[in-house]
C-alpha cells in the first residue's frame, strides 16, 4: 500500500468511474484499474462493486474510505512538518454560504494551523457569480454547486464558463424542500399547499434547481431572502416552502419537527484555472480533500 494508490482509490470513490478518476489524477485508465486491483489484493477485500463502468464502494470499501482520508491527512502533516510544502502569500477562495457553514470549518481550521502565514481571503457568493470571478482572476478558486445538465443547456454562458475551468467534485449535497410543520407529505410540486418558495438570490444554483422542480405548480412564486435562517423563518409562517441543503438544515437544530422532500443530490465542485495558481492553492486542495472524509455530515462519495 502506498500513498499514490490511496489517492487513486479516493479519486475512484469520488467519481464512481475509472475513466473520470484517471483524468483527475493524470494517469491512464489502465493504470488506475491496476492500482485499484493491487490495493484490493494487498488488503484482501473487494473495495468496489463493478456495475458496467460504474464503480460503487462495497461495505469494506466504505469503511476503508475514512482510513484513506486520515492517512493522506497524516502524510500532509508530515510533509509540512519537514518543510516539503512551503505555501506562502494570499489565497482568494470563493464559496457558497451553505458550504462555508457546513463543510469548511474543519478544513479552514486545519489549514490555518498548518500554514498560519498564508493569508486566506474568503468570499461568499452565488455559484454563477463565483465561477465568473475565478474565470476573470478575481478569485483563485471557488466551491460552487454544479447545475444539472438540463440547467446548463439552458444557460450557455454558465456552461462555457465551467468548461473553461478545471473542476473536481469535493462534496455531495442533498437538496431539500423544507415544508411548514404539519404540511402533508409530498411527491411533487403539485402537492405543495403553500403560496411561495423561499430561496436565496437568482444566481444560486440551489434556487434554480428548486424553481425548475416547482414549474409543475404554476401557483408557486419565488420569494428571495438573504440567508438560510431567513428562509426557515419564512417556512415557520406556514406560507412558504424553503430551499435548503440537508447539511445546513442539520446545523440549525430547528425547534419544530420539520417535514422535508428531497429534490435530488447536487455536487459541490472546486473550480480553478488551469494555470497561474498561487503556491497556497495545492496545500488548500490537499487539506480540503483530507478533511472532507472526516466531516460526519458528508454523504459517501
**Within this chain, domains 90-170+268-292 and 173-266 share the same CATH topology:** yes
Phi then psi dihedrals of residue 175, to 5 deg? -85, 125
CATH 3.30.720.210 fits 90-170+268-292, yes or no: no
pLDDT single digits (tens) 84-111 = 556 778 899 999 999 999 889 888 988 8
Cell of 20: 473520470
Beta strands in the chain (DSSP E): 48-51, 54-57, 90-95, 119-124, 141-145, 166-178, 196-199, 221-224, 240-245, 260-272
Read off the pLDDT of residues 17-74 as tens digits, 9 standing for 90 and up: 888 888 777 788 899 999 999 999 999 999 999 887 789 999 999 999 888 888 877 7
Is this prediction's pTM over 0.75?
no
Instruction: Output DSSP code: residue 217.
Output: -
CATH of domain 173-266: 3.40.190.10
Per the structure block, which three cell numbers stand in for 236?
415557520
DSSP state of 14: H
The fold of the 3-81 domain, in CATH, is Arc Repressor Mutant, subunit A (1.10.10)
Amino acid at each position: 500500500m502506498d500513498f499514490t494508490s490511496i489517492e487513486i482509490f479516493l479519486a475512484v470513490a469520488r467519481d464512481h468511474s475509472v475513466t473520470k478518476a484517471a483524468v483527475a489524477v493524470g494517469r491512464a485508465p489502465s493504470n488506475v484499474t491496476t492500482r485499484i486491483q493491487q490495493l484490493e489484493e494487498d488488503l484482501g477485500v473487494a473495495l468496489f462493486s463493478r456495475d458496467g463502468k460504474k464503480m460503487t464502494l462495497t461495505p469494506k470499501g466504505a469503511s476503508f474510505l475514512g482510513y484513506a482520508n486520515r492517512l493522506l491527512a497524516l502524510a500532509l502533516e508530515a510533509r509540512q512538518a519537514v518543510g516539503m510544502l512551503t505555501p506562502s502569500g494570499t489565497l482568494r477562495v470563493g464559496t457558497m454560504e451553505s458550504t462555508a457553514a457546513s463543510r469548511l470549518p474543519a478544513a479552514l481550521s486545519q489549514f490555518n494551523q498548518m500554514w498560519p502565514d498564508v493569508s486566506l481571503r474568503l468570499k461568499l457568493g452565488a455559484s454563477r457569480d463565483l465561477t465568473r470571478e475565478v474565470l476573470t482572476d478575481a478569485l483563485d478558486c471557488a466551491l460552487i454547486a454544479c447545475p444539472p445538465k438540463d440547467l446548463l443547456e439552458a444557460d450557455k454562458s454558465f456552461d462555457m464558463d465551467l468548461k473553461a475551468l478545471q473542476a473536481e467534485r469535493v462534496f455531495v449535497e442533498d437538496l431539500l424542500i423544507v415544508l411548514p410543520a404539519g404540511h402533508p407529505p409530498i411527491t411533487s410540486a403539485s402537492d405543495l399547499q403553500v403560496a411561495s418558495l423561499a430561496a436565496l438570490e437568482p444566481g444560486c444554483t440551489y434556487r434554480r434547481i428548486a424553481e425548475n422542480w416547482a414549474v409543475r405548480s404554476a401557483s408557486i412564486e419565488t420569494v428571495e431572502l438573504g440567508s438560510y435562517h431567513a428562509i426557515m423563518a419564512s417556512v415557520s409562517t406556514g406560507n412558504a416552502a424553503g430551499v435548503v441543503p440537508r447539511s445546513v438544515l442539520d446545523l440549525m437544530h430547528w425547534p419544530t419537527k420539520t417535514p422535508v422532500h428531497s429534490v435530488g443530490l447536487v455536487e459541490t465542485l472546486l473550480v480553478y484555472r488551469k494555470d497561474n495558481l498561487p503556491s497556497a492553492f495545492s496545500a488548500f486542495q490537499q487539506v480540503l480533500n483530507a478533511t472532507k472524509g472526516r466531516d460526519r455530515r458528508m454523504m459517501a462519495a
